[in-house]
Amino acid sequence: MTTVVAQGTFDILHPGHVHYLSDAASMGDRLHVIVARSENVTHKPEPILSGRQRRAMVDALAVVDEAHLGHPEDIFVPIERIDPDVIALGYDQHHDEEGLQRALRDRGIDCEIRRATPLEAAEDVLPSTGRIIDRIVDRRC
């Protein structure tokens, strides 16, 4: 059985998230998703929704076998516990694949890193939380 881990913030679920997780699920037999804790999100604005709510929304998706809230101090703790065969990165996630592979190897985690494919552009699809928020502000404020 091939176990896949995907991870992200997943603030305001959108078609890009669903595509990423569906793509990740196709890489193996079981998909575990690690949802970042708000305090660990440093590369973009703080999430709108709580970690508990974001985890519950991700867990409700049919392609997800189990969703986990990330560790408050060490992002590798849930990865060590799950012991995946594959880590699926989103096509536009900011991770340095070589650096991540070194960090995994240093912790004795032997798994493959793959990138998900991008969501094909469609005129009526908002593929990011930022774009959804911008549209809400434009239309409601």
Q: Is 14 annotated as a binding residue?
A: yes
Give CA–CA dist 8/34, Å, rounded: 7
Give CA–CA dist 5/10, Å, rounded: 14
Q: Is 78 annotated as a binding residue?
A: no
Q: Is 2 annotated as a binding residue?
A: no
Q: Is 10 annotated as a binding residue?
A: yes
Tokens 């408050």: give the residue: 72
- Listed residue (110, 114, 74) closest to 97, CA to CA: 114
- Listed residue (47, 5, 58, 54) closest to 27, CA to CA: 5
Q: Is 110 annotated as a binding residue?
A: no
Annotated binding site: 9-10, 14-17, 92
Annotated binding site for ATP: 9-10, 14-17, 92
